Amino acid sequence: MIYQGYKRSTRESEASGDLVIQDLATGELVTIKAEDIEDVRQTGSPMPTGLTSLLSQAQLLDLFKHVTSLGTRSKKKKQG
């Protein structure tokens, strides 16, 4: 099986050598046992190359606003 996501770590994964990734589609954390890993590859951004050249200025500003706000919603919910 192939997993794709952002590399994360926990105390448990650091101690065991397991790999924790945050799934790109769902945001869920997935733990993969070290013995089940055949290959790990780092790639660039999941955003398609050249995407920004297709966007209008308004769309580009919306994209930047969205990206810079990522994670702030969950922090506000925890604080409130």
Give the tens place of pLDDT for each residue, 4-51. 888 888 889 889 999 999 987 788 899 999 999 899 888 777 777 888
Quick one: the chain helix, strand, coil %, rounded to 5?
Answer: 40, 15, 40
Output the pTM of the full model. 0.54
pLDDT number for residue 43: 78
Closest CA to 46 of 65, 21, 74, 20: 21
The residues, any chain, with a CB within 8 Å of residue 22's CB and separated by 6 or more, are 5, 6, 8, 28, 29, 30
**Sign of torsion, CA 55 57 58 64?**
positive
Region of residue 3 (phi > 0: left; psi between -120 and 50: alpha; otherwise: beta) = beta
Give the tens place of pLDDT for each residue, 48-74. 788 888 999 999 999 889 888 876 655
Domains of the chain by residue range: 1-38
pLDDT number for residue 72: 66
* Cα distance between residue 70 and residue 76, in whole Å: 11
